[in-house]
Amino acid sequence: MKVLVLGSGGREHALVWKLRQSSRITKLYCAPGNGGIAADAECLAVDVKSLDSLVQLANRLNPDLTVVGPELPLTLGIVDEFQKRGWPIFGPTRAAAQLESSKSFAKEFMQRHHIPTAKYSVCATNAQVREALKLFHAPIVVKADGLAAGKGVVVAQSKDEAQRTAEEMLAGKMLGEAGSRVVLEECLKGEELSFLVMSDGERVVPLVATQDHKRVFDNDQGPNTGGMGAYSTNHIVDRQMRDWLVAHIARPVVAGMRAEGAEYKGILYCGIMMTATGPMVLEFNCRFGDPETQPIVMRMESDLLEAMEASIAGRVSDGDFRWSPDPAVCVVMASGGYPGAFEAGKLITGVDEADRLPGVKVFHAGTNRRDHMYYTSGGRVLGVTARGKDLPEAVERAYDAVMKIRFDAMHYRKDIAARGLKHLRAGK
């Protein structure tokens, strides 16, 4: 069986690594891939921003399954194009992917289907922003309506800052077209968690919960990034809370999309804030998260290929996943300056040494390989991931591996999974 994975980041390397473990896959491609993925799959050039380029590649390869990693091809309608041609593909259609591609669509959808979320206002002009701000107390969350690679959210500490941020987004100064409309939201307090389910358009099956670390510096300081690390443990949500999230969020989303004529198949990522009054949805993503996928696949003991096929065929069931009880931790090693300007082309050493440590897998995000050496090519460079018998061991293994790796101006957070460790110490 031939499988094609689209994308070039740490998420895609994790998916490739896990899919490669399936005995049924005889050929694994990744397009465009990266320096590390090349060790696990044949990497092929493609423009993921171009439907024509993606269709031409699939037409040439004739894969038995295509797996979409990043959000942009979903938003462009790659699933629709492949389905028209009868080509098996894992992911939601363009209409279903609006849950991620438009923050305003997602908020209005949640309101229609009584899914718990923060109070909000959608604004298309500066005048609308000024009027809407009268309804909020600081801090206020300002979100670009469109796709912004995880960087379209600002938590403004005052109404003046919220107004300035919204106006910059609307003027296209910060995020271009993604900011043509903005969503203002009340700022929810609590702990965030990433809750992913797989759907076949009707049924949903939860994956293990994770917690992402979005801010660039320790103690959740600095600007938002695409994610600086994540961890997964059974203690993040208990069985009762998991069932509640499925019943009150995941299932209503899938049922609501079906009722509105946009059947939802694939992965539904629910970004949840666990507030004092209960779980509230912060955002939806319509694909696997990055870096959440890395600890998820480290804990997955079942065949990912078979689960994806079940999603496409409309036969998802509770038996599709088996999980290790062992926690897993991913520490992202980033280029200095990320999420702002950074320099690429830095030599990376120590990756193979780190990869040989017990329970460790180094997933590549922004790397290329030349003359048997790895070099940086992106903001997030590596996702150093480890599994252990308990959370302290997983954290220790991940950071032991990080210490083996070097590249100029590298940056990483030193407190990944600190909240989980704190809860453990408190006996929660």
Residue 60 Cα distances to 47, 54, 201, 396, angstroms: 15, 10, 29, 45
pLDDT at site 427: 74
Could you tell me the pLDDT band of residue 223, with boundaries at 50, 70 and 90?
confident
Choose between 353 and 180: higher pLDDT.
353
Q: Is the pLDDT of residue 176 over 70?
A: no
Q: What is the DSSP string of 115-173?
A: --B--EEEESSHHHHHHHHTT--SSEEEEESS--TT--EEEESSHHHHHHHHHHHHTTT
Q: What is the DSSP string of 294-350?
A: HHHHHHB-S-HHHHHHHHHHT---GGG--B-SS-EEEEEEE-TTTTS------EEBS
Range in 88-102, 196-210, 307-321 the model is least confident about: 307-321
Q: How many CA atoms lie within 13 A of 373 on its CB side?
A: 10
Mean residue pLDDT of the chain comes to: 95
Could you tell me the pLDDT band of residue 424, with boundaries at 50, 70 and 90?
confident
Collapsed DSSP state (helix, strand, coil) of residue 213? coil
Collapsed DSSP state (helix, strand, coil) of residue 113? coil
Q: Give the global pTM.
A: 0.94
Q: How far apart are CA 174 and CA 167, in angstroms?
A: 10
pLDDT at site 43: 98
Could you tell me the pLDDT band of residue 428, with boundaries at 50, 70 and 90?
low
Give the CATH number of domain 125-180. 3.30.1490.20
Could you tell me the pLDDT band of residue 150, with boundaries at 50, 70 and 90?
low
**Arithmetic mean of pLDDT, 240-265:** 97
Phi and psi at 302, nearest 5°, equal: -100, 180
Q: What angle do CA 140, 72, 85 make, to 5 degrees?
A: 145
**Arithmetic mean of pLDDT, 205-223:** 95
CA–chain centroid gap for 198, Å, is: 14
User: What is the third-level CATH fold of 328-425?
Assistant: Glycinamide Ribonucleotide Synthetase; Chain A, domain 4 (3.90.600)
- Cβ–Cβ < 8 Å for 411, 333: yes
* Cα dihedral 295→143→257→198 (10° resolution): 0
* The listed CATH number (3.30.160.250, 3.30.470.20, 2.60.40.10, 2.40.30.10) that belongs to domain 191-320: 3.30.470.20
> What are the extents of the domains in the chain?
2-91, 125-180, 191-320, 328-425
pLDDT at site 179: 54
Tens-digit pLDDT profile for residues 50-65? 999 999 999 999 999 9
Looking at the DSSP bridge assignments, the partners of residue 268 are 197
DSSP3 helix / strand / coil % (the chain, rounded to 5) = 35, 30, 40
pLDDT at site 175: 58
Tens-digit pLDDT profile for residues 395-419? 999 999 999 999 999 999 999 999 9
Q: Which of 197, 9, 190 is nearest to 99 (CA)?
A: 197
Residue 160 Cα distances to 130, 133, 137, 143, angstroms: 10, 9, 11, 15
Residue the block writes with tokens 């801010």: 215
Q: How far apart are CA 291 and CA 228, in angstroms?
A: 7
Could you tell me the pLDDT band of residue 178, with boundaries at 50, 70 and 90?
low
Tens-digit pLDDT profile for residues 334-392? 999 999 999 999 999 999 999 999 999 999 999 999 999 999 999 999 999 999 999 99
- Cβ–Cβ < 8 Å for 5, 20: no
**Arithmetic mean of pLDDT, 84-97:** 97
Helix or strand run (H / E) with residue 88: none
Q: How far apart are CA 150 and CA 419, in angstroms?
A: 22
- Cβ–Cβ < 8 Å for 247, 114: no
pLDDT at site 239: 94
Q: Which two tokens stand for residue 415?
A: 């407190």
Tens-digit pLDDT profile for residues 322-336? 999 999 999 999 999
Range in 147-156, 213-222, 237-246, 399-408 the model is least confident about: 147-156
Would you call 83 exposed, middle or buried from its count of C-beta atoms within 10 A (0-12, 13-18, 19+)?
A: middle
Residue 17 Cα distances to 10, 197, 363, 379, angstroms: 10, 20, 9, 21
Phi and psi at 82, nearest 5°, equal: -70, -40
**Arithmetic mean of pLDDT, 261-288:** 96
pLDDT at site 174: 62
Q: Which two tokens stand for residue 162?
A: 């919220």
**Arithmetic mean of pLDDT, 5-28:** 98
- Cβ–Cβ < 8 Å for 362, 355: yes
Cα Rg of the chain, angstroms:
21
For the 2-91 domain, the top CATH level (class) is: alpha beta
Could you tell me the pLDDT band of residue 220, with boundaries at 50, 70 and 90?
very high
pLDDT at site 180: 78
pLDDT at site 153: 86
pLDDT at site 287: 97
End-to-end CA distance of the chain: 45
pLDDT at site 279: 97
Q: Is the pLDDT of residue 147 over 90?
A: no
Tens-digit pLDDT profile for residues 116-126? 999 999 999 99
